[in-house]
Amino acid sequence: MIPLSSVVSTGLTWSKVSHQNYELKRDDEVAGTLHRPSFWSSTVLAETQSGRWTFRRDGWLGAGAQILDSNSQQEIATFKSSWKGDGKLTFADGQTFHLECKGLWHPVWSVITENGETLLLLHTREKEVEVTARCAVTDSRLSLLIMFTWYRVLQAEEDAEATSVAAAYMGLEGNGALPLLSDRRARSEE
């Protein structure tokens, strides 16, 4: 793996390697990976040259997340989501970042420092990462922020898919295409 510190500002792209694996590349060289151990797992493993982390859903309906050091299983940071999907990432050392998503057709996720400076942008449609500032953030923390932001994008996409499937099912059920649950219960009582 190449170090993310070698990335000046652009040139990082995401690609899906398999159903549960993603790679972050620069000029066809792997800079990081995301791996979900199984389809049903809520845990994702991230790895760069700077470290190995475990991302795990947390909170009510899994809207938040925990970041653990993969080796020690020590909590590094927690993410608290707002109702819009963006939220606040707080590290154990007290440093905080705000993650937000703007745009409907070409969403861009931003990581913003406590001072309001945009640290990085993740362009979801283009699958590109743009490091916009190198403020007081270590290479390891920058690597972790890039990996975690991509994890949040994938989490948001999964949640949207689940919602659309549920809405489609409810729409079919309400239009008579599928028997209503109350109709099924009434027939079973007869």
Question: Average of pLDDT values for 169-184?
Answer: 52
Tell whether the model's pLDDT for residue 116 goes beyond 60.
yes
**In terms of pLDDT, which residue wins out, 156 or 121?**
121
User: CA-based Rg of the chain, rounded to a whole angstrom?
Assistant: 19
Residues in CB range of 36: below 8 A, 6 or more apart: 20, 21, 43, 44, 45
3-class DSSP state for residue 116? coil
Question: Average of pLDDT values for 104-128?
Answer: 89
Tell whether the model's pLDDT for residue 89 goes beyond 50.
yes
pLDDT in tens, 35-47: 988 777 779 999 9
Tell whether the model's pLDDT for residue 135 goes beyond 80.
no
pLDDT in tens, 28-87: 889 999 998 877 777 999 999 999 999 998 756 556 899 999 999 999 999 998 877 689
Beta bridge partners of 97: 89, 113
Strand 51-58, strand 29-35: pairing: unpaired
Confidence tier at 173 by pLDDT (50, 70, 90): low
Residue 161 carries which side chain, given as an amino acid letter?
E
pLDDT, residue 166, reads 54
Q: Are 118 and 149 in contact (CB under 8 A)?
A: no
Q: Tokens in use for 159?
A: 């949640």
pLDDT, residue 184, reads 45
Pick the CATH number of 4-189 from 2.60.40.10, 3.90.420.10, 3.40.50.620, 2.40.160.200: 2.40.160.200
How does the average pLDDT of the chain come out, rounded?
A: 80
